[in-house]
Structure 1
Amino acid sequence: VMFRLHTLLFIVLACSVQRALGGEIINGKEVPPKSLQYMVSVQNDGKHFCGGFLIRKDIVLTAAHYNVTVVLGTNDLRKIDESTMRYNVKKCKHTDYKKPLNGNDIMMLKLSRPSKIKPIKLPNKKMKIKKNTTCLVAGWGFIKSGGSSVDKLRQVDVATIDRRTCQREWSKKNYVLPANIICAGGYGTEKGACQADSGGPLVCNKMAVGIVSFNLGGNCSYPNVPNIYTDISKFVAWIDYPKKRCQI
């Protein structure tokens, strides 16, 4: 049962699978033009696969999934200036990453040229988000289970959930959560993130504190179990000193 559950979760959430299995914002709304400009569409063959976000002028943070190029500077994927908005990238995947279920679901992408867009701030390594903190998650994914990705960026507010409650709910599915994660949305609410939102940020107090990682088997008919995010505060040293780990 454990193996089957793990396999199901991994298949549904990996950005590199077919587009029909991508990520989504559930019960959210369209993002106003020119806002959340730090948001990135990670693409393969010109199609959105998952999200990311700009943390420095030439560095994007995302989940540890395969990708080819990124699009930065538009909320509407029908309106892409190929000469200014599309970037080639060099990848720096966390060396301890195996699959989302094991944690360490984080990767940096170095852009082929610096962006003029203002990056989003990151937390320090001592930061701890309190439970019931209202945060924002955004993406271009489905708006319902089994749906399709959208062209216009959408966002939704979700509340953080304490680790004990989160583990209790996931234990009902015979799953032990990895370390270094944050739980928010998907449980006790009809709002949350889903596939093709993978890699996008959990934004609390105007900081990107988490990265969309996984939910339960792609079921976005919430309430379900809490959505899982990589806790960025636990990877600050890795982000600050990538040359020890990657040539980017």
Structure 2
Amino acid sequence: MARWRRFLGAAAAALTVASMGTLMQASPASAADDGPQQVVGGTTATQGEFPFMVRLSMGCGGALYSSTLVLTAAHCVSGTGTNTSITATIGVVDLQSSSRVTRKSNYVYRAPGYNGNGKDWALIRLASPVTGYATLPIATTTAYDTGTFTIAGWGAASEGGGQQRYLRKATVPFVSDATCNSSSMYNGQIIASNEICAGYAAGGVDTCQGDSGGPMFRRNASNAWVQVGIVSWGDGCARPNKPGVYTQVSFFASTIASAAASLGG
């Protein structure tokens, strides 16, 4: 069964910036099904390589949309409203680094109409701005929704594994909607209008549990990073013919921008 790529279970409640950090992806399933997901088959990122990466204390990832907003997955949050319980860790590869920057949340905005089937995005507003770190622009057209993408996170490095201390990265190729929805892959489960698949038919490289909400991104025509996806779900991690499934950011770009403006970001 498909599983969200949020890190759940006994460790989730105790997740702290000092102890957790592996890239993982999740799929729509019950907590009982959830296995650890991280960037499987990747390598450790270098300090400063992806300054927009954010680790969230509930066991998810995210990206700096602005100095006060983090873009993540809807399934990582409980709903829209005041929320002061989330800690965001920013600016480091090593979650235990003394130079890490942390901010508490003060509000969460979850995609309107989210019910666990598509629309998997949310914005977390930070209690105070972070400065000196690059934000990650989102794709506003489908121009960059194909090709080769970069994924990164602190989720599990293998299916069922633990969260990572150091940020990991990998590259994955685009998989067409038709291929991803074929009987050999997800057999019609993909929402073609607003989800993107990426991965290798042979498996081996993928996001995993703990990577949910993190960005999938690539270079644009100006060689700058642009976010095209949000880690959402998948069947296990890095299994053959089971690519990762990501929220298609370009489809929601205008709605995300409007929500960000309403939050002052």
Please state which band the TM-score falls in when normalised by the shorter chain.
Answer: 0.7 to 0.9
**Aligned residue among 194, 198, 202 for 2:208:** 194
> Given that residues 120 and 208 in structure 1 are in contact (C-alpha distance below 8 angstroms), is that contact kept between their aligned partners in structure 2?
yes
Shift of 1:16: 5.4
- The match for 2:189 is 176
Distance 1:156 1:224, change over 3 A: same
Equivalent position to 1:108, from 120, 123, 131: 123
Partner Cα separation in structure 2 for residue 143 and residue 115 of structure 1: 29
Equivalent in 246, 249, 253 of residue 229 of structure 1: 246
SS in 1 for 2:181: helix
Instruction: Go from structure 1 to structure 2 and tell me whether the alpha carbon gap of 1:33 and 1:130 turns closer, same or farther (over 3 Å shift).
Output: closer
- 2:56 matches 1:42: yes
2 CA distance for matches of 1:247 and 1:121? 16
Partner Cα distance (1:247, 1:204) in 2: 27
* Counterpart position of 2:27: none
Residue of structure 2 aligned with 1:213, choices 227, 232, 241: 232
TM-score by length of 1: 0.82
Gaps (5+ residues) in structure 1? Answer: none
Q: What pairs up with 1:63-212 in 2 under 5 angstroms?
A: 63-64=73-74, 65-66=76-77, 68-80=86-98, 84-99=101-116, 102-116=117-131, 117-124=133-140, 126-129=141-144, 131=146, 133-169=147-183, 174-178=187-191, 179-205=193-219, 206-212=225-231
* DSSP-derived class of the 2:65 partner: strand
How many percent of aligned residue pairs carry the same amino acid?
28
Q: Cα deviations across residues 150-193 of structure 1 (Å, max 9, x unaligned)?
A: 100000010011111011046x6555212301110153342111
Is contact 1:137-1:155 (8 Å) kept?
yes
Deviation digits for residues 48-97 of structure 1, max 9, x if unmatched? Answer: x0100001111110001227221111111112557x42332410001211
Number of residue pairs matched by the alignment: 228
Distance, in Å, in 2 between the alignment partners of 1:95 and 1:245 is: 14
- Rate the CA distance shift 1:14–1:139 in 2: closer, same or farther, 3 A: closer
- The more displaced of 152-161 and 220-229 is 220-229
How far apart in 2 are the matches of 1:73 and 1:247? 22
Structure 1 position 29, deviation (Å): 0.2
Structure 1 or 2: larger helix share? 1
Instruction: Tell me if structure 2 keeps the 8 A contact 1:23–1:139.
Output: no
Alpha-carbon spacing, 1:96–1:245, altered in 2? closer, same or farther (3 Å) = farther
Alpha-carbon shift at residue 18 of structure 1 (Å)? 4.4
Deviates more, 1:204-213 or 1:179-188: 179-188
Q: TM-score, normalised to structure 2's length?
A: 0.77
- Structure 2 distance, partners of 1:144, 1:164, is 27
Query: Matched residues in 2 for 1:151 and 1:113: separation?
Result: 25
Cα deviation per residue 1:184-225 (whole Å; 9 max; x = unaligned)? 015334211111111000112121110000001xx2243231
- Contact 1:93–1:106 (8 Å) recurs in 2: yes
| Maintained 8 Å contact 2:56/2:62 | yes
5+ long unaligned stretches in structure 2: 13-34, 78-84, 220-224
Q: Distance in 2 between matches of 1:221 and 1:18?
A: 24
Q: CA deviation at 1:14?
A: 4.2
